[in-house]
Each structure stands twice: as structure tokens, then as C-alpha cells.
């Protein structure tokens, strides 16, 4: 799939089929995350892949707006060392993984991490030590029912030349 096609097609999916995700696809997705741009070349990220159904159910219970994690094929928790630009770096890695998943035919949904009340519980559950920060979680799986339609503002509505 071409990059611009993946960007146009990618949408948040919250309903997954039971089809498992091949480990080599998960590795490709994480590899895309580690290749993200990073401020000062620090690469502060660490990724935890959760496939165990009991742990996925626990994550779904902890994240009140992401109960669908329990039905995902896996969830990738994106942690970053607490550096000056950890949030930017972690978000760049997250977006790379979302696009890679789309390219591989795997649906995804970005779940907020940083500043959420459940961060410490998830860190503890996944064994992430200080000073790691939970930036995001990515629910992955094969879409049940296809990709949802999403209406985006047109480029002419959001683009400003030279000044706002």
C-alpha cells in the first residue's frame, strides 16, 4: 500500500474479529514505531505487546473509554523515558505503528495514555518502572464489519498560506 493511501484509509476501529495477528506482522508494526523521528536522537521508547486475553481484558477494564481492548488481537503499550520531548517522540512512534498496521491490513485504535488516571495501574500491571511514562496504547486486530467512514475537513478548510 502506498503511504498516502494508508493515511487516507486509516481510521479508528473498535470492533475486532477473533482472527489472530501473525507475530511477524506485530514485529513489523513495532519496527515501524522504533523508526519514528525522535528529538535529539534519544529514542526514549519502549514497547510492550500484550496478547494474553486475560491481560487484554484487564486493560479494557482499566481504560473506561477503551473497553474494546478486551476484543483486540493485541495491544501495544508505548512507554517513553521521561525526557524533554517524550510525548512528541512517543506520539510519532504511535502514528508510525498505526500507519504500518493499516498497510498490513490490520485495524487499530489509538488509546490515550499520558495524564490519564489509569497510567500508574497499567505501568504496574505491565512491569514498567520509573521513570517510564505511558504515552499511548494501540489496540490492534482485524476489523469486524470493515472500517468506519470518517468525515475529515477538506484541505481548503484547514490550510492557510503565509498567515492565518
- As a residue count, the chain comes to 164
Q: What is the pLDDT of residues 39-87, one digit of tens each?
A: 999 999 999 999 999 999 999 999 989 999 999 999 999 999 999 999 9
Whether the predicted pLDDT of 150 surpasses 80 = no
The C-alpha cell 508494526 sits at 29
Domain residue extents for the chain: 3-158
Q: What is the pLDDT of residues 81-114, one digit of tens each?
A: 999 999 999 999 999 999 999 999 999 999 999 9
User: At 149, is the pLDDT very low, low, confident or very high (cuts 50, 70, 90)?
Assistant: confident
Class of domain 3-158: alpha beta
Task: Average the pLDDT over each of 24-28, 110-114, 126-130, 142-146 and give the range with the smallest value.
Answer: 142-146
User: At 146, is the pLDDT very low, low, confident or very high (cuts 50, 70, 90)?
Assistant: confident
User: Cβ–Cβ contacts within 10 Å for residue 115, how many?
Assistant: 9
Contact between 100 and 29 under an 8 Å Cβ cutoff? The reply is yes
Give the model's pLDDT for residue 145: 83
Task: Average the pLDDT over each of 71-85, 115-129, 144-158 and give the range with the smallest value.
Answer: 144-158
- Paired with 133 in beta bridges are 80
Amino acid at each position: 500500500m502506498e503511504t498516502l493511501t494508508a493515511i487516507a484509509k486509516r481510521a479508528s476501529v473498535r470492533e475486532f474479529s477473533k482472527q489472530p495477528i501473525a507475530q511477524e506482522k506485530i514485529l513489523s508494526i513495532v519496527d515501524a514505531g522504533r523508526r519514528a523521528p525522535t528529538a535529539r536522537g534519544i529514542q526514549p521508547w519502549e514497547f510492550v505487546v500484550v496478547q494474553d486475553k486475560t491481560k487484554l481484558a484487564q486493560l479494557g477494564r482499566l481504560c473506561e473509554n477503551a473497553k474494546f481492548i478486551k476484543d483486540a488481537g493485541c495491544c501495544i503499550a508505548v512507554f517513553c523515558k521521561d525526557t524533554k520531548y517524550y510525548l512528541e517522540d512517543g506520539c510519532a512512534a504511535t502514528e508510525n505503528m498505526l500507519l504500518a498496521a493499516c498497510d498490513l491490513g490490520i485495524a487499530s485504535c489509538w488509546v490515550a495514555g499520558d495524564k490519564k488516571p489509569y497510567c500508574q495501574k497499567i505501568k504496574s500491571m505491565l512491569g514498567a518502572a520509573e521513570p517510564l511514562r505511558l504515552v499511548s496504547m494501540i489496540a490492534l486486530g482485524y476489523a469486524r464489519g470493515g472500517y468506519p467512514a470518517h468525515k475529515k475537513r477538506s484541505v481548503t478548510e484547514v490550510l492557510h498560506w503565509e498567515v492565518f
